[in-house]
Amino acid sequence: MRLHREGTPTLLLVSAVVCFGLFALLKWPVLPTFLSILIGAALVIVLAIVVWFFRVPQRPLPNDDSAIISPCDGKVVVIEEVYEPEYFKDKRRQVSIFMSPLNVHINFHPIGGTTTYYKYHPGKYLVAWHPKSSTENERSTVVNKHPKYGEVLFRQIAGALARRICTYAREGMPAQQGAEFGFIKFGSRVDLFLPLDATIDVALGEVVSGSSTVIARFKH
């Protein structure tokens, strides 16, 4: 299993703490044996969870121009028509996906084409499913333009635990559908803003996979 580069500092820190803790438990056995075993097991479990969080899945890149692919792993928590004030300044179909701490936290380009807009916004750390998290939390907005079907906006949103959003996409860069464009550490959410005439292919509560699940399709 390959691990994501964004996890290197965290993994080194957690590994060092776990190794020191286990060494201390063995070198200085001042606690009852059963308690030492419990603490040692807890340390190993914490390390395993961190390793699992930064895993990189091996998934084939999609090749479906009419499809808008899920930008992340998680659960669909919002499907509604909204006004998008930052870039389009008109009504769009919003699909929001909540990423739990156990999900893969890599973010993927939902469509191919060219990145036409990128902006980082500092902000709050409300829980990711809060209605105001889309406009008040720390977030990064990216827009890709498909040469045939037009533009789709997607927004990385920090949650109550997330404290770092990584966005690699920049204006003018080519975008490959299903390729990685960013990473969010710990619980978070990604919003998609789609054309009103797009056909939604998912339902509320549905679990989706980044770079794999078709969220919607453009109107032909």
Over residues 62-110, the pLDDT tens digits come to 889 999 999 999 999 999 999 999 999 999 999 999 988 888 889 999 9
CB 82 within 8 A of CB 94: yes
pLDDT band at 131 (very low <50, low <70, confident <90, very high): low
R_g over Cα of the chain: 20
Q: How many Å apart are CA 26 and CA 6, to the nearest integer?
A: 32
In this prediction, residue 130 carries a pLDDT of 56
* Residues forming the active site: 188
pLDDT tens digits for range 7-53: 788 889 999 999 988 888 888 877 788 888 899 899 999 999 888 87
Q: Which residue has the higher pLDDT, 125 or 58?
A: 58
Topology at the third CATH level for domain 67-217: Glucose Permease (Domain IIA) (2.70.70)
Residue matched to tokens 């499809």: 67
